[in-house]
Amino acid sequence: MNNVRKIWESCNIAENFPQFASSVLFNEPMSLHTTFRTGGPVDLFAEPKTRAELEAVLSVFLSERVPVWITGGGSNLVVSDKGLRGVCVSIAGFQSVTVNKEKTRVTAGAGMLVDDLVSWCAEHSFSGFEQFAGLPGTVGGAVYMNARCYERSISNIFFEADVLYFRNGRYTVETVGKNTGGWGYKKSPFQAINNTSGSKRGIVETGAIEIGHLAVILSASFCVLPGDPEAIRAVMHSCVSDREAKGHFRFPSAGSMFKNNRAYGKPTGKIIDEVGLRGASVGDAQVAPWHGNLVINRGNASSADIRALVEQVQEKVFKKTGFILEPEVVFVGEK
Ligand SMILES: Cc1cc2nc3c(=O)[nH]c(=O)nc-3n(C[C@H](O)[C@H](O)[C@H](O)COP(=O)(O)OP(=O)(O)OC[C@H]3O[C@@H](n4cnc5c(N)ncnc54)[C@H](O)[C@@H]3O)c2cc1C
């Protein structure tokens, strides 16, 4: 019996939260929880639906110094083929949506799919979110990654988020406003806390929270305006059609592999095209033959294939142009 199972069996979560306890999964393949469809097993996969369940599972494992990974829709993740020794906590169960009295802000649970929130806003004639139609993943993931679609970043409409902080063994829930700082292109203040920024040319080696600090986004509020439902739906339709035309959904992927760097004067996809890497592959991982900044899983790619391909692209682009490409996709687990 491994350490995680032992800790689980000796804790009192099953007594206090029987329904939640019966839903946890042991040795769960992460390939079932990532849009790339790769990744080995995590020792324990948990999907709490309430703050009490979330705190219970974090307390048990963080106090035993077991690594914990937070996930939403898994649409920006490459999990190692060796899997994760520790616990993966999915926030997908945090589902809710409300609007304030003045109808200027919508607040969504971190687990709500962005696409569902966009549709909800359209149904209720709220404008602001429509450019995010078709974005895979959850509200929490979009805030954490500061997702950007059609020249609009989540930080452009973000108002505040309720965030569960774990610091030195204690929890607090704090409301984090836009003015907190730490926002930038594909950058949110939460990335530095959870250790998912920086390292070898942008490839994040861990992303696990072993002790110290952890920030879990529980819900987020966004600024909206009254809008014409027809016009909102027209924008949504055009964004989704454009994604389809660009082949976003043809194969499993995590969307754009690398960040765009304005200093390089052109989009990363164009740089990769010009270096002649469209269609390059390692195993079943391939630079999409129709888009330089999209890495796809043609069927049986492993995470090691994806990683090796990413490293090859970085190396060749660096040799030919001197540009350092920084992945926006988060790589987690042992190489
Ligand atoms: C086909 C396709 C198209 C895409 N197009 C775009 C695009 O146009 N623009 C863009 O920006 N991205 C795009 N992406 C990438 C991805 O969809 C976004 O980054 C998305 O916002 C990630 O959300 P998620 O819930 O899947 O996060 P995950 O992949 O589950 O997690 C990503 C990171 O966020 C952290 N995280 C997730 N939820 C929480 C939480 N509640 N609290 C704290 N940390 C959390 C995780 O720990 C991890 O570090 C695309 C992906 C695909 C597959």
| 69, 113: one domain | no
Helix, strand, coil % (nearest 5) of the chain?
A: 35, 30, 40
Please tell me the predicted confidence (pLDDT) of residue 194. Answer: 75
CATH number of the domain that residue 9 is part of: 3.30.43.10
| 65, 176: one domain | no
Sheet holding 25-29, edge to edge: 25-29, 41-46, 84-90, 68-71
* 129 within 8 A of 84, measured Cβ to Cβ: no
Cα of 330 from ligand 1 centre, angstroms: 9
| 103, 194: one domain | yes
Catalytic center residues: 256, 328
| 137, 172: one domain | yes
243 inside domain: no
256 inside domain: yes
Average pLDDT of every residue of the chain: 92
Pocket probe for ligand 1: among 130, 145, 176, the residue whose CB has the most ligand atoms within 8 Å is 145
Neighbouring residues of 114: CB distance < 8 A, sequence distance ≥ 6:
132, 135, 136, 137, 138, 139, 142, 147
Atom of ligand 1 nearest to the CA of 146: 11
245 inside domain: no
| 101, 63: one domain | no
Domain stops at, among 165, 195, 229:
229
Lowest-pLDDT range, 44-53, 164-173, 194-203?
194-203
Which residue's alpha carbon is nearest to atom 53 within ligand 1? 254
| 122, 204: one domain | yes
Residue-by-residue DSSP string for 12-39: SHHHH-HHHHHH-EEEEEGGGGSTT---
Which residue's alpha carbon is nearest to atom 50 within ligand 1? 255
Share of the chain above pLDDT 70, in %: 94
Average pLDDT over residues 174-178: 93
CATH number of the domain that residue 289 is part of: 3.90.78.10
Q: Which of 149, 133, 152 lies closest to 240, judged by CA?
A: 133
Share of the chain above pLDDT 90, in %: 81
Atom of ligand 1 nearest to the CA of 328: 19
Amino acid found at 299: G
Q: Which of 25, 135, 32, 35 lies closest to 77, judged by CA?
A: 35
| 61, 7: one domain | yes
Q: Which of 334, 34, 38, 41 lies closest to 205, judged by CA?
A: 334
| 79, 108: one domain | no
pLDDT exceeds cutoff 70 at 202: no
pLDDT exceeds cutoff 70 at 198: no
Please give the Cα distance from 126 to 295 (Å, whole number).
34
242 inside domain: no
Q: Which residues of 113-124 are buried (b: 16+ CB within 10 A; e: fewer)?
A: bbbebbbbbbeb
Domain stops at, among 90, 114, 148:
90
Higher pLDDT, 203 or 53: 53
Pairing of strands 68-71, 84-90: parallel
Average pLDDT over residues 132-146: 97
pLDDT exceeds cutoff 70 at 210: no
| 197, 111: one domain | yes
316 inside domain: yes
Give me the residue label for tokens 């439902």. 229
172 is in which domain, residue-wise? 97-229
- Residues near ligand 1 (Cβ within 6 A): 35, 70-77, 91, 110, 135-138, 140-142, 144-145, 147-149, 190, 196, 207, 216-217, 248-249, 253-255, 330
Cα of 200 from ligand 1 centre, angstroms: 20
236 inside domain: no
| 154, 191: one domain | yes
Cα of 153 from ligand 1 centre, angstroms: 13
Q: How far, CA to CA in Å, does 225 sit from each of 46, 130, 228, 269?
A: 36, 12, 10, 34
Cα of 111 from ligand 1 centre, angstroms: 11
CATH number of the domain that residue 181 is part of: 3.30.465.10
Which residue's alpha carbon is nearest to atom 28 within ligand 1? 74
Lowest-pLDDT range, 56-70, 98-112, 137-151?
56-70
For residue 30, what are its two tokens? 């992460």
pLDDT exceeds cutoff 50 at 139: yes
Please tell me the predicted confidence (pLDDT) of residue 62. Answer: 85
Please tell me the predicted confidence (pLDDT) of residue 234. Answer: 97
Domains of the chain: total: 3
What single-letter DSSP state applies at residue 307? H
CA 280 to chain centre: 26
Cα of 143 from ligand 1 centre, angstroms: 8
185 inside domain: yes
pTM: 0.95
| 82, 144: one domain | no
pLDDT exceeds cutoff 80 at 168: no
240 inside domain: no
pLDDT band, residue 201 (cuts 50/70/90): very low
Atom of ligand 1 nearest to the CA of 148: 11
* 91 within 8 A of 70, measured Cβ to Cβ: yes
Cα of 73 from ligand 1 centre, angstroms: 7
Atom of ligand 1 nearest to the CA of 138: 25
Give me the residue label for tokens 């494992």. 61
Please tell me the predicted confidence (pLDDT) of residue 1. Answer: 56
Please give the Cα distance from 37 to 35 (Å, whole number).
5
| 193, 224: one domain | yes
Domain stops at, among 40, 63, 90:
90
Pocket probe for ligand 1: among 71, 210, 296, the residue whose CB has the most ligand atoms within 8 Å is 71
pLDDT exceeds cutoff 90 at 213: no
Query: For residue range 258-317, what is the model confidence (pLDDT) as tens digits?
Result: 999 888 999 999 999 999 999 999 999 999 999 999 999 999 999 999 999 999 999 999
Please tell me the predicted confidence (pLDDT) of residue 191. Answer: 86
